[in-house]
Amino acid sequence: MHTLFIQESVCVCILLSGITTVISSLPMIPNNKTILSRVGDQTTLPCTFTPKTSDGLIVTWTKIPGQTVYFFTEGKEDAGKQEERYKDRTFVDESRFNEGDFTLLIEDTRVSDEGNYQCFVRFKPADFESSSLELYVAANYTKPVASCLQSNSTGSTQEASAVTLSCQTEGGYPEAQLVWTFSNGTRVHSAAQRRAIDSEGLVSIQSSLVIARALNENLTCGIHNSRLSQSFFTSVTCSLPSSAGSFQNEERKRPGLLASVVCFVSSLLLSLIVKKASCC
């Protein structure tokens, strides 16, 4: 599977007190002559006209501009004029032509099927009908996976205490944005979002967010697909980074401190016993 990576920008550091809410959404699908289909599903593109004589009937489905999806002439389908990528994926029930139904079915819908379609029906040289519609395609993203990353900062104390978060999701369409939400409801779009588009046109997104202060609260990373009106969220909590740069919680630090104290006391007692024995 071939993937095209596009880097939009680099990570940015922000103070919690200075975060501003950033909200955006994909354009909603118009209601006039539009069809919405999911990737992998069967798509139905309706086309109906008042039944007329079948003498000299020609039926053409075209994806604009100029891609022949289906062509019927001289009483049968002519697959030779059909675009290669639609072969064995389209179907028109020719038995319903006498009823004025020229509906097109597309199997295994793909992102590349999205676009404008025209249905053209000629009953006689001077008697024809046509209609057009627009097909939108959508696919849901996977539930985001969020994690804390090791800080690469080696400068000031403020930089050393920076918290870096990562979130990623894949397999969706159309392109969306990962949104971070803080416990106080503040929402922010990370300036560092990497997109990957695979050979099927599906999008994967990775977001990085750097907070320039200690972070000890839940953050939620979410993705919203406006075409399907569906959202997925996941939460992550990062503790203070240790001097080595790795993230540890307080429960993991305390056993290490206790072990150090026990070791020191044991060494002191052993030294006293040896000294007493040597005196006697």
- Residue 216 DSSP one-character state: -
Q: What is the pLDDT of residue 228?
A: 94
Could you give the domains of the chain?
4-23+139-251 (2.60.40.10), 40-138 (2.60.40.10)
Question: What residue has token string 């803080």?
Answer: 182
> 127 and 217 in contact (C-beta within 8 Å)?
no
Q: How many C-alpha atoms does 192 have within 13 Å on its Cβ side?
A: 15
Please list the residues that pair with 227 across neighbouring strands.
Answer: none
How far is residue 56's CA from residue 201's CA, in Å, rounded to a whole number?
40
Q: What is the pLDDT of residue 150?
A: 57
CA distances from 35 to 4, 52, 113 (A): 28, 27, 12
The total of other beta-carbon atoms located within 10 Å of residue 134's CB is: 17
- At 4, list the tokens: 């095209």
How far is residue 166's CA from residue 146's CA, in Å, rounded to a whole number?
6
> 237 and 216 in contact (C-beta within 8 Å)?
yes
pLDDT in tens, the chain (280 residues): 333 433 333 333 333 333 322 323 333 444 458 999 999 999 999 999 987 777 789 999 999 998 999 999 988 999 888 999 999 999 999 999 989 999 999 999 999 999 999 999 998 877 889 999 999 999 999 999 998 875 555 555 445 567 788 999 999 999 999 999 988 888 887 667 899 999 999 999 999 888 766 566 788 999 999 999 999 999 988 765 544 444 433 333 334 444 444 445 455 555 655 455 555 4
